[in-house]
């Protein structure tokens, strides 16, 4: 059941009157950046992990609530909440056995989950203290975060320089921009790992939300969530989310044991303009989040493994289905799957990716 006290605790954004982003030091978070436009979205970003810690979004009545899950104790992001809201890399998702070959040379990465490399390894980008600078124009406000990943970092080759932007627009959009360059051939696949609950992060579960995903195929996986075989059509399966479906219904479909933690192959597009990947809607509040991206895939994770160990900002333990992650990215284990879009970045090239979260309300 929703926690009324928790909901009220998350309804008001931190004190912020608009203007350029505000920076506050914090021993656990690195620095906390607060930014937004009056009457619209307000975000809190932490430099440790380049992490989206909070996002206050108005409902159909104009009342804001924080829709991003995060632990009450920021120190927990070093343990069982390490991916909450974080920028993950060098390679988001899994690389089987932590092994790949590039230009005929084998590489071995640090591994954790069942002997596989997950989200960049044991000491991925989510653990790092990023440098940050503010951006403020009449139409956009936010932060640019910078990180140097040295050659051999977690086993990946090449020195990699990464810039991640988190910017709010006046039209209630939150844009994630990613750029990277390297001095040697390497792999790059970056995303943000925020969990969303459009009723408010302390308001219960997401079973009443409706989700649609613009994908005709998905990636089947084995028991370790490693891709297994070819991408398959969603038609006639539990993974057909092309029309909006209530998550309580979707999660009861045969074949969705434990919830979704799967890659969806997004409908093709041309050019560098983000196209729609998914729409998440909470009828209880009217909040609607449209996900647009330049990436080829979307990992949908409905947090079926949450067990209440992590206590949220509002004091509510996060249990199964407390939020949903919609991670725009390249496909899992694609370095070992030649038919998938390549995540290889070479010297002289620039990795670029853009994902936009567009917020609206519906009656």
Q: Among all residues, which ones are annotated catalytic?
A: 193, 327
Residues in the chain: 363
Buried b / exposed e along 121-151 (16+ C-beta atoms within 10 A) = beebbbebebebeebeeeebbbbbbebebee
260 closest CA partner among 296, 293, 288, 218: 218
How far is Cα 115 from Cα 96, in angstroms, rounded to an integer? 8
274 closest CA partner among 249, 291, 297: 291
Contact 194, 230 (CB under 8 A): no
Q: How many CA atoms lie within 13 A of 257 on its CB side?
A: 5
98 closest CA partner among 230, 187, 212: 187
How far the first Cα of the chain sits from its last, in Å, is 23
Contact 177, 167 (CB under 8 A): yes
How far is Cα 160 from Cα 29, in angstroms, rounded to an integer? 23
Q: How many CA atoms lie within 13 A of 272 on its CB side?
A: 6
């Amino acid at each position: 059941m929703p926690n009324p006290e928790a909901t009220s605790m998350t309804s008001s954004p931190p004190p912020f009157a608009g203007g350029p982003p505000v920076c506050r030091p914090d021993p656990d978070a690195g620095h906390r950046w607060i930014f937004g436009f009056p009457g619209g979205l307000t975000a809190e970003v932490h430099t440790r992990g380049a992490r989206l810690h909070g996002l206050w979004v108005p409902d159909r009545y104009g009342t804001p609530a924080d829709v991003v899950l995060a632990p009450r104790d920021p120190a927990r992001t070093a343990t069982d909440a390490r991916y909450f809201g974080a920028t993950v890399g060098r390679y988001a998702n899994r690389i089987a056995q932590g092994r790949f070959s590039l230009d005929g040379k084998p590489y071995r990465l640090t591994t954790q989950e069942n002997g596989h490399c997950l989200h960049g390894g044991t000491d991925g980008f989510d653990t790092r203290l990023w440098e940050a600078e503010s951006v403020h124009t009449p139409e956009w406000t936010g932060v640019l975060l910078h990180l140097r990943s040295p050659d051999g970092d977690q086993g990946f080759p090449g020195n990699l320089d990464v810039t991640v932007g988190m910017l709010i627009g006046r039209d209630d959009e939150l844009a994630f921009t990613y750029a990277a360059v390297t001095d040697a051939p390497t792999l790059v696949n970056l995303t943000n790992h925020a969990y969303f609950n459009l009723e408010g992060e302390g308001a219960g579960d997401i079973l009443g939300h409706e989700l649609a995903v613009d994908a005709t195929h998905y990636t089947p996986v084995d028991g370790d969530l490693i891709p297994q075989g070819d991408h398959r059509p969603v038609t006639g399966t539990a993974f057909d989310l092309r029309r909006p479906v209530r998550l309580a219904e979707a999660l009861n479909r045969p074949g969705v044991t434990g919830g979704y933690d799967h890659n969806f192959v997004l409908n093709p597009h041309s050019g560098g303009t983000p196209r729609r990947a998914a729409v998440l809607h909470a009828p209880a509040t009217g909040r609607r989040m449209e996900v647009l991206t330049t990436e080829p895939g979307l990992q949908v994770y409905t947090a079926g493994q949450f067990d209440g160990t992590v206590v949220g900002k509002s004091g509510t333990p996060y249990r199964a289905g407390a939020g949903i992650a919609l991670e725009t990215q390249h496909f899992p284990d694609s370095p070992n799957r030649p038919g998938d879009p390549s995540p290889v970045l070479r010297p002289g090239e620039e990795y670029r990716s853009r994902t936009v979260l567009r917020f609206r309300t519906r009656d």
